[in-house]
């Protein structure tokens, strides 16, 4: 594990901390000199994200620095977190959605590889340190594990469907208190989310679906949704990122 250094100290090289992933270049401008794949590298010692072509040489292959891509990640971090040591990397097989974070940061940086360069796509605010990042090979789903307890007592996993379709900024609550508040709001709308214990279960998700389908004391499709209904809708799209990909109810579209 790479530990956070005090500001001004030099990070010592830590080979085991370097994270990497193999990227399929396909038919892109970056796939020159017979290179069909590349390696994406996150170096916590420099906080840089790089992409190196894997070029054939006789019966072997080597990493080419010629034309390699590189981003300094510190400038994309929020104010006050530029010195966080970034240690975790997740990407799909083609680099179309790339997530970077660490246990010393409460944010996930998003990038993509468009065939010619690495591009910054925004941030996901998590509200708690990021413990793990995962991404499916086809980019259909991403998982973010967050929490403060060292042994996972309060860890929460958030699964995001089709993460590449998300906007450039997203808030993902990472505490039991956010789920508890959501449960209380659902119950206040006469939708049974069960006892507000802060644990996301089938009763809570069913109540969320019921609200979005028009059930409850004041539904999001009502002609005159009240402030509580609008607040509940915001809680839902914050706690369940996949709902951001669905069409917003007409009466709340401009809120």
What are the structural domain ranges in the chain?
Answer: 15-171, 176-249
- Whether residue 76 contacts residue 109, with contact meaning beta carbons closer than 8 Å, is answered with yes
The residue whose two tokens read 């892109």 is 28
| pLDDT(20) > 70 | yes
CA distance 184 to 181: 5
- Give the pairing type, strands 156-161 and 60-72: unpaired
The residue whose two tokens read 């644990």 is 199
Percent of the chain whose pLDDT exceeds 90: 34
Using the 8-state DSSP alphabet, how is residue 26 labeled?
A: -
CA distance 129 to 126: 7
Q: Model confidence at 225, in pLDDT bands (50, 70, 90)?
A: low
- For residues 216 and 246, the model is more confident at 216
Percent of the chain whose pLDDT exceeds 70: 79
Average pLDDT over residues 221-231: 72
**15-171, CATH topology level:** Methylamine Dehydrogenase; Chain H (2.130.10)
Helices (H) and strands (E) in the chain, counts: 3, 12
Q: What is the mean pLDDT of the chain?
A: 80
| pLDDT(22) > 60 | yes
- Whether residue 76 contacts residue 101, with contact meaning beta carbons closer than 8 Å, is answered with no
Q: Model confidence at 135, in pLDDT bands (50, 70, 90)?
A: very high
Average pLDDT over residues 212-225: 69
pLDDT at 127: 77
Closest CA relative to residue 109, chosen from 81, 148, 137, 136: 81
Identify which of 7-21, 163-177, 187-201 has the greatest average pLDDT.
187-201
pLDDT at 177: 65
| pLDDT(252) > 60 | no
């Amino acid at each position: 594990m790479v530990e956070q250094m005090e500001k001004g100290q030099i990070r010592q090289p830590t080979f085991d901390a370097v994270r990497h992933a193999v990227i399929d270049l396909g038919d892109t401008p970056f796939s020159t000199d017979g290179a069909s794949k590349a390696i994406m590298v996150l170096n916590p010692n420099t906080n840089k994200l790089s992409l190196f072509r894997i070029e054939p040489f006789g019966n072997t292959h080597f990493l080419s620095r010629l034309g390699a891509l590189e981003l300094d990640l510190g400038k994309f971090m929020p104010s006050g977190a530029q010195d966080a040591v970034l240690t975790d990397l997740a990407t799909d097989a083609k680099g179309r959605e790339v997530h970077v974070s660490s246990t010393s940061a409460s944010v996930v940086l998003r990038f993509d590889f468009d065939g010619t360069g690495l591009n910054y796509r925004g941030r996901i605010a998590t509200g708690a340190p990021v413990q793990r990042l995962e991404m499916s090979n086809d980019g259909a789903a991403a998982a973010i594990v967050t929490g403060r307890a060292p042994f996972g007592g309060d860890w929460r996993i958030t699964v995001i469907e089709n993460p590449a379709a998300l906007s450039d900024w997203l808030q993902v609550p990472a505490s039991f208190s956010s789920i508890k508040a959501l449960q209380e709001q659902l119950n206040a709308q006469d939708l049974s989310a069960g006892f507000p214990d802060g644990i996301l279960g089938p009763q809570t998700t069913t109540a969320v679906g019921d609200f979005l389908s028009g059930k409850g004391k004041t539904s999001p499709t009502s002609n005159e949704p009240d402030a509580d209904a609008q607040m509940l809708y915001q809680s839902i799209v914050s706690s369940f990122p996949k709902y951001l990909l669905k069409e917003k109810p007409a009466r709340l579209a401009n809120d």
